[in-house]
Amino acid sequence: MHWINPRRSIRKSLLTLLLPAAIALMVSAWIVHGLLLERMARGFVEDRLQDEVAFLEHQLRRSGPEEIRDIAEGDYFEEVFHHAFALRTGNQVHSSPAQWSKVLEPLLHEAGTGFIQNADPESGTSNSDFLAYRKVLTLNGEPVVIVVAEDLGNLKNSQQELHLWTGIVSAILLALLIMAIWLAIRLSLRPVGRLQSGLTSLQTGASNRLDVDAPAEFRPLIRQLNQLLDTLDQRLARSRDALANLSHSVKTPVSAIRQVLEDDTRALDPEMRQQLAQRLSDIDRQLESEMRRSRFAGPQAGKAAKPVSQARDLLWMLGRLYPEKNFELETELGPETRWPIEEHDLNEILGNLVDNAGKWSRRSSVLSLTETGDQMIIAVEDDGPGVNADALSTLGTRGVRLDEQTPGHGLGLAIAREITERYSGSLTFSTGSQGGLKATVCFPGIGRG
């Protein structure tokens, strides 16, 4: 509905939609009521007229000529049925009451059985608007015509009065309906006011999270806002931790190196140079570790990655880095499949796990991507020497390396585990089907859309 301003308040939008709709429906119901009332009244009158003509016909067939005259000239029919009638038997014409003779007797000389309606309000007579039923039959060899009529003026006045009262009651009900709509909208939008108050408290620092007992429609929004606040707090904590770690780790080696370089009385022998180089290497390793940690995003609303596309690009690159080894991708996911993981984080997980498998594999490494109803799973397996069962639990622990001869600082698996845990996932290690190491990452599928 382009005519509704999306920037207008929800209350005004609902009132703009519901109030005209309620008025239109009530007016339509009132109009339909009038039409149905008129149709029902006409049907009722038609049934009564037909029944009375049938009754009069029955009486005439049972009576002789004298009795027919008594019926026609008496007041029995008028008093019992309260309708005007006209009767023609042969050349004799009878009608009752007298004021109806002028309009009913001409109908006796017309042929055909059926209903006749006359509506001439300009004539000024009291019986100018009536409905009549005429029946032509043969009785004792003579043609007989019966006409029974009812004045519609009084009936229409009653209908109008009933329709008017229906309109008054409808107007009262419409007013009550408008009040109910307004009250329902006001009560339904109370959580929006509480949410606004919660945002104000959050902005002023009175609270640090949104804690609103909101309807189901607002809970995903509140959950995403709180998750965003958690992410910001985690980033701030990581930044502070990184600065503290760098300050603690770098300050001492830098001071030592500066003292050695500022000492003019001592020459730099090869052993001293090696120690300085080692110190600088430690500083460089610490800086690299903290810089990589600072790039981790964690769960973010609106961020998603294409695991299949990223995995293919990564395996192509590692295939060039390890040309003597084979890297395979096993998945039933399509290239456009999205996972609610930030792209850089997924690259870090895939890169560290596959690179570790490439270092230790003999000939091949296999990366598999699967998705179930409630989990997203990454599995990396190689055909290398594997790891002892006792040492599997220590993998992925920061600062732990099982082989000092292999190039690297031993941070890859620890980084993969840290990123995985930020997404409420898990990283486990086991022995694969080829005898090598198998790393399995499981992410929960909660909140996916």
CATH of the domain at 410: 3.30.565.10
Q: Considering the domain boundaries, does residue 228 fall inside one?
A: yes
What is the rounded CA–CA span in Å between residue 236 and residue 242?
10
Average pLDDT over residues 106-116: 84
Are 152 and 48 members of one domain? yes
Task: Residue 352: name the closest of 328, 380, 383 by CA.
Answer: 380
pLDDT at 61: 80
In this model, does residue 408 exceed pLDDT 50?
A: no
Work out the pLDDT band at 242, boundaries 50, 70, 90. low
The percentage of residues in the chain with a pLDDT greater than 90, rounded to a whole number, is 5
Contact between 4 and 15 (Cβ < 8 Å): no
Which residues neighbour 177 within 8 Å (Cβ) at sequence distance 6 or greater?
22, 26
If you average pLDDT over residues 242-249, what whole number do you get? 63
Query: Do 349 and 416 touch, CB atoms closer than 8 A?
Result: yes
54 has pLDDT over 60: yes
**Same domain membership, residue 99 and residue 46:** yes
Identify which has the larger pLDDT, 277 or 361. Answer: 361
pTM confidence score: 0.46
Do 106 and 243 reside in the same domain of the chain? no
The total domain count for the chain is 3
Share of the chain above pLDDT 70, in %: 73
Does residue 64 have a pLDDT over 80? no
Q: What is the DSSP letter of 209?
A: S
> What is the separation of C-alpha 136 from the centre of its chain, rounded to a whole number of angstroms?
67
> Which CATH number is 84's domain given?
3.30.450
Tokens matching residue 95: 């009608």
**Contact between 257 and 326 (Cβ < 8 Å):** no
Q: Mean pLDDT, to the nearest integer, of 38-47?
A: 88
Q: Indicate if 142 and 258 belong to the same structural domain.
A: no
Tell me what pLDDT residue 287 has. 67
- What are the tokens at 184? 């329902």
**Calpha distance 226→199 (Å, rounded):** 11
Give the residue, 449 or 341, on which the prediction is more confident: 341
pLDDT in tens, 125-136: 556 788 889 998
Give residue 368's pLDDT. 92
| C-alpha to C-alpha distance for 98 and 118, rounded to whole angstroms | 18
Range from 3-12, 232-241, 367-376, 415-424 carrying the lowest mean pLDDT: 3-12
Give the residue among 300, 376, 285, 364 at the shortest CA–CA distance from 333. 376
Rounded CA-CA distance 160/252 in Å is 101
Range of weakest confidence among 80-94, 374-388, 401-415: 401-415
Taking the C-alpha atoms of residue 165 and residue 33, their distance in angstroms, rounded to an integer, is 12
Tokens 């609610």 found at: 340
Task: Look at residue 401 in the predicted model and tell me its pLDDT.
Answer: 47
**Lowest mean per-residue pLDDT among 14-18, 27-31, 200-204, 251-255:** 251-255
**C-alpha distances in Å from residue 354, one per residue of 14, 251, 325, 364, 426:** 55, 35, 12, 11, 17
Q: Is residue 188 situated within a structural domain?
A: no
Quick one: average pLDDT of 134-154?
84
Mean model confidence pLDDT for the chain = 77
CB-facing half-sphere around the CA of 414: CA atoms within 13 A: 15
Full domain range(s) for residue 279: 219-294
Look-up: residue for tokens 């609902």?
Answer: 14
pLDDT tier at 335, thresholds 50, 70, 90: confident
Task: Please give the structure tokens belonging to residue 148.
Answer: 């029974």
